[in-house]
Structure 1
């Protein structure tokens, strides 16, 4: 059985992605679908589709997808979610599901970072990266798996070309630039706390942090805008 796994389409699914999925037996989407048109295109392949919704998905997409899926594929127990954290730093709900069900495979998205590895308990963690045009990734990717007898026999990472969206200078920002772009003013202590929350989000999602020169502070960090937005929302909450 061949499975095509993709995530974070954000409403865009190009012909190259559909072509890469034509030979698989099932398609799994790990969330941030972005539009019903993406679901329509995937269903048009004539393959069984398993899909969860992500944090950007509206009611139309959520009505056709799931918050979480737990199932078996060729004898392999699978947990499919949008946000899982990373091995050693799973989110609380994922840790609870791991204890309750002990999956063989955790599939997630959200970070836009292609990552396949076994955690300390031997569970395979798989993030196919992002297949759409929005986000921090530079290359669009998906993954194909061959599964038989409860085991993964083969895994293929498929590169679909460079992302045509925003460049790195706009996808990454310092705390200072992030706040200025949104017309927000925070005290130094609040801005530092925002940076610490953004750094934690990056650790949890496996996102890199880049040090850059600052004329006043010497060296500061640039974070993916998604991490800063999540950190800001957390702070407001």
Structure 2
């Protein structure tokens, strides 16, 4: 079976009721993103940051996978599918996708603020001040914040290099380094882009644009993929 790599972004989760990362004013749920998604914000007011993600976690728990997530999962019947997501929710997994790489972390995990390798699955929805890791440091969300390295970028790039088909869904391709994953694909790899506002893919010729939201667009794309590559 061909290797199908899917890069997903906020647009696919938005259909499940999870707000996109920030609005036109650079705010995320009413907060300046640097207040709640940066090492500086964490140092300045860790309680605010913890509360912010506790609320996001509860919202993500209530959200349900949409048709876009389910269609991506269903492609595993016909392809070797690897999802690379910029999203921190678990909607791809809940829809049935079995290989999901989270570039920017996972909201249902926490980690040591002292040792980034100490990562824990969360049992509840809240991290509180005073909750500590085994080394005695405060637990923090297992999220990649602005100004931090993206440790999963290297394995994601390796997956992109092996793609026979590369799909971009629900992302504007403006957030780096994730947007650069397209450049890791082989020059002859066909690229499909599903988004209401189709981003430009520079320097590539074999690009098929589907100007739809994830649910509608993925249905059209599945038909195309099965016709061309099954």
- Do they superpose with TM above 0.5? no
The structure where helix makes up a greater share of residues is 2
Please report the TM-score for the alignment, with normalisation by the length of structure 1: 0.33
Q: Report which of the two has the higher share of strand.
A: 1
Higher RCO (Cα < 8 Å, 6 or more apart): 2
